[in-house]
A and B are shown apart, each in its own frame.
Chain A
Amino acid sequence: MAYTLVQILNALSFSVLLLLTGLGLSLVLSLMNFVNLTHGSFYLLGSYIGIQWLASGAPWWLAFPVAFVLTGAVGWLLDRFPFGRFYARPHLMQVLLTYGLSVVFADLMRWGFGAETVSPVLPEVLSGVVFILDFPFPVYRLFLIASGAAIALVLWVLIDRTLWGAAIRACVVDRGIVETLGIDTRKLLTAGLVLAAALGGLGGALGAGMLSAYPGLDEEVLLLALLTVVVGGLGSFAGTVISALLLGFATTFGRMWAPEFANFLTLGIMALILIVRPTGLLGQPARQV
């Protein structure tokens, strides 16, 4: 019983990590209709920034805002060039551009941060374990669950309940009409991309305590995030949450019950959902014109 509870918490912390990375990707993908495969690079960059900051001895809690701001700045640069020119292009060209860039970034980061696996030096408050029904559980994962849930909530309010969020959603449906209302949609899209990149970096800084950081992690995270968003259905916040939970729990419990087939089973479940519902769990069928 207690063991299952700990596993549930493990699954939950993994789900929150998936949700955090998925939300950033979902923001650009479903709201801005831009396929950003460099999202895994943002995540890994955030991880490295967080790790460097925690090792530097500066106040630890600043690591997360710093990662947020710095990766956001990288996102802003990328928006200036070359992403801005690709927002209106077909998905294929976006996929190709951003995948190529992610290859470049992966190699740059291997160059800059080394090829070894690095883990953050956690502050005393976050290291150590708590005992849940006599089973040890890392404090950091509880912190991850709480902060991830809080960030997701803030983002949901921002996108779903504010005028700014409404404007960015309207941009996807009809950018021309939004322009005629006197809103500079170019700026709006820039803001969206910067926010998404910053979220990716924040997710990375938070996730480093659980997954560490190593070359290749960017691809793994990208795949998981892409899977989360696509299976959940584009443009659906609830769908992303559900699929993050599904993916997190399927992976964790799959590893517990059948370690050999865990990945196959998880992929199989995801494939099955996409076969039965070709536009994702809560996605709307695409309108054909």
Chain B
Amino acid sequence: MTTLHSNSSTRLAATRTWLLAALVCSVPVIWGQGFALRFGAEILLIGTAVMSLNLLIGVGGLVSLGHGAVFGCAAYAAAVAAQAWGGNVVLVLAVGVLAGMAVAGLMALLTLRSTGLFFLVLTLVAGQMAWEVVFRWREVTGGADGLRGFPSLEAFGIRLDTPAALYLVTCLIAGLAWWVLRSFARAPVGLALQGMRDQPLRMRALGYSLGNLRVRAFLVSGAVAGAAGALFPFVNQYIGPNTVHWSMSATLVIMSVLGGIHMLLGGFAGAAVYLLAQTQLSSYTDRWQLAIGLLFVATVMFAPNGLLRLGRRGRP
């Protein structure tokens, strides 16, 4: 991210990104079936959550195993809000973003002094505590059954209940999320975060506050994951406690590594590979977890920069 590009290659990359984005938005809407569109929207939403995790892992070196809780709690908050006040998309997103920021911010405050493995375990414990609350608080969250039956989303009087409309909304959110995260990572605060990852002692000597940076990174990441989580129940038409469980967090980390932790867009690639493998392989064989596991191990061993950077050399 810090490597200096010449102007023309930057412009080329930008053009490519825009073309890709246009393709992603248009193709499925024109040709896609209802199921394919829902699946595409799911990939985009989960991919957005993975992208927000990439900010923590790739830029900040903060390997959080509690990101599923951020995503899941925001999804629950949005689902409950929609059931109470209707499916205004602005309201749903606002609730999701706030919930995501609240959970992520809390997690950042809890882990303020922890590093490395201790950070990993503490985020895991915090996430599992969130799961316990979601799982036990049956009156609100439906407990093990989860929630279903949400009012359809609507924006400014237009009902967004067709798969194509939902898909376009998720495209918009995913693009916006990418822009927010990229801006953060490229801004001085993002560069400081990166410095904190590589040389914490020197950065502290330069007067940066580790805690301050960490909380900010978590808030941005939580806001993005929250926005993605807010739409997830409407795309999935169901939200269950598994979304908050630590295995969800681990899945997000797997996707993040599959796509490449140092590339924000890798989040979408990782989510797509994982979810495609899950749905496609599971219709052929019961051993899809084995296949995913092997693919993941192979990625870690032979392509530590992710599948998108396969063959390119770089820092692992």
User: How far, in Å, is B283 (CB) from chain A's closest CB?
Assistant: 17
B247 — which chain A residues lie within 8 A by C-beta? Answer: 219
Report yes or no: A286 in contact with B297, Cβ–Cβ below 8 A: no
Report yes or no: A227 in contact with B254, Cβ–Cβ below 8 A: no
A260 to chain B: closest residue by CB: B136
A264-B132 contact, Cβ under 8 Å, with A92-B63, A95-B63, A227-B125: yes
B257 — which chain A residues lie within 8 A by C-beta? Answer: 96
> When the two chains form the complex, which single residue of B120, B254, B316 contacts A93, counting CB atoms closer than 8 Å?
B316
Report yes or no: B300 in contact with A100, Cβ–Cβ below 8 A: yes
Report yes or no: B115 in contact with A104, Cβ–Cβ below 8 A: no
Most buried by A among B57, B116, B133, B293: B293
- B296 CB within 8 Å of chain A: yes
Report yes or no: B122 in contact with A275, Cβ–Cβ below 8 A: yes
Of the candidate stretches A62-70, A106-114, A160-168, the one touching chain B is: A106-114
A136 — which chain B residues lie within 8 A by C-beta? Answer: none
A111 — which chain B residues lie within 8 A by C-beta? Answer: 287, 290
- A103 CB within 8 Å of chain B: yes
User: How far, in Å, is B303 (CB) from chain A's closest CB?
Assistant: 12
Report yes or no: B110 in contact with A275, Cβ–Cβ below 8 A: yes
B120 — which chain A residues lie within 8 A by C-beta? Answer: 95
Report the bound CA distance from A96 to B247 in whole Å. 14
> When the two chains form the complex, which single residue of B57, B110, B296, B304 contacts A271, counting CB atoms closer than 8 Å?
B110
Report the bound CA distance from A104 to B136 in whole Å. 31
Report yes or no: A278 in contact with B118, Cβ–Cβ below 8 A: yes
Q: Mark A214-247, 1 if CB is under 8 A from B, else 0.
A: 0000010001001100100010000000000000
> When the two chains form the complex, which single residue of B115, B246, B289, B301 contacts A278, counting CB atoms closer than 8 Å?
B115
Report yes or no: B294 in contact with A104, Cβ–Cβ below 8 A: yes
Counted as pairs of residues, one from A and one from B, with CB atoms less than 8 Å apart, the total is 101
User: How far, in Å, is B261 (CB) from chain A's closest CB?
Assistant: 9
Report yes or no: B290 in contact with A267, Cβ–Cβ below 8 A: no
B201 — which chain A residues lie within 8 A by C-beta? Answer: 288-289
Report yes or no: A274 in contact with B301, Cβ–Cβ below 8 A: no
User: How far, in Å, is A11 (CB) from chain B's closest CB?
Assistant: 20
- A82 CB within 8 Å of chain B: yes
B250 — which chain A residues lie within 8 A by C-beta? Answer: 99
User: How far, in Å, is A139 (CB) from chain B's closest CB?
Assistant: 34
Report yes or no: B300 in contact with A96, Cβ–Cβ below 8 A: yes
Could you tell me the dominant secondary structure of chain B's interface residues? helix
Considering only residues 254-300 of chain B, those with a C-beta below 8 Å from chain A are 254, 257, 287, 289-290, 292-294, 296-297, 300
| Size bracket, chain A contacts | 35 or more
- B221 CB within 8 Å of chain A: no
Report yes or no: B297 in contact with A274, Cβ–Cβ below 8 A: no
User: How far, in Å, is A137 (CB) from chain B's closest CB?
Assistant: 29
B292 — which chain A residues lie within 8 A by C-beta? Answer: 103
B215 — which chain A residues lie within 8 A by C-beta? Answer: none
- B146 CB within 8 Å of chain A: no
Could you tell me the dominant secondary structure of chain A's interface residues? helix
A107-B297 contact, Cβ under 8 Å, with A92-B63, A271-B125, A280-B118: no
Report yes or no: B129 in contact with A230, Cβ–Cβ below 8 A: no
B297 to chain A: closest residue by CB: A100
B294 — which chain A residues lie within 8 A by C-beta? Answer: 100, 104
Report yes or no: B121 in contact with A227, Cβ–Cβ below 8 A: yes
A234 to chain B: closest residue by CB: B117
> When the two chains form the complex, which single residue of B129, B289, B296 contacts A264, counting CB atoms closer than 8 Å?
B129
Report yes or no: A278 in contact with B114, Cβ–Cβ below 8 A: yes
- A263 CB within 8 Å of chain B: yes
Report yes or no: A268 in contact with B129, Cβ–Cβ below 8 A: yes
User: How far, in Å, is A99 (CB) from chain B's closest CB?
Assistant: 7
- A23 CB within 8 Å of chain B: no
- A270 CB within 8 Å of chain B: yes
Report yes or no: B316 in contact with A103, Cβ–Cβ below 8 A: no
B251 to chain A: closest residue by CB: A103
Report yes or no: A267 in contact with B297, Cβ–Cβ below 8 A: no
User: How far, in Å, is B181 (CB) from chain A's closest CB?
Assistant: 20
A106-B115 contact, Cβ under 8 Å, with A97-B300, A274-B122, A288-B200: no
B109 to chain A: closest residue by CB: A275
- A91 CB within 8 Å of chain B: yes
Report the bound CA distance from A91 to B110 in whole Å. 21
- B312 CB within 8 Å of chain A: no
- A101 CB within 8 Å of chain B: yes
- B5 CB within 8 Å of chain A: no
Report yes or no: B118 in contact with A223, Cβ–Cβ below 8 A: no
A274 to chain B: closest residue by CB: B122
B63 to chain A: closest residue by CB: A92
- A279 CB within 8 Å of chain B: yes
B110 — which chain A residues lie within 8 A by C-beta? Answer: 271, 275
Report yes or no: A104 in contact with B118, Cβ–Cβ below 8 A: no
A108-B290 contact, Cβ under 8 Å, with A96-B300, A274-B122: yes
A269 to chain B: closest residue by CB: B125
- A35 CB within 8 Å of chain B: yes
Report yes or no: A104 in contact with B293, Cβ–Cβ below 8 A: yes
User: How far, in Å, is A79 (CB) from chain B's closest CB?
Assistant: 15
Report the bound CA distance from A229 to B301 in whole Å. 27
Report the bound CA distance from A103 to B301 in whole Å. 15
B304 to chain A: closest residue by CB: A93
- B173 CB within 8 Å of chain A: no
B300 — which chain A residues lie within 8 A by C-beta? Answer: 93, 96-97, 100
5 extra A-B contacts, CB within 8 A, seeds A91-B116, A104-B297: A93-B300, A107-B293, A223-B246, A271-B126, A279-B118
Among all A-B residue pairs, the 6 with the closest Cβ atoms: A104-B293, A103-B293, A100-B296, A100-B297, A107-B290, A278-B113
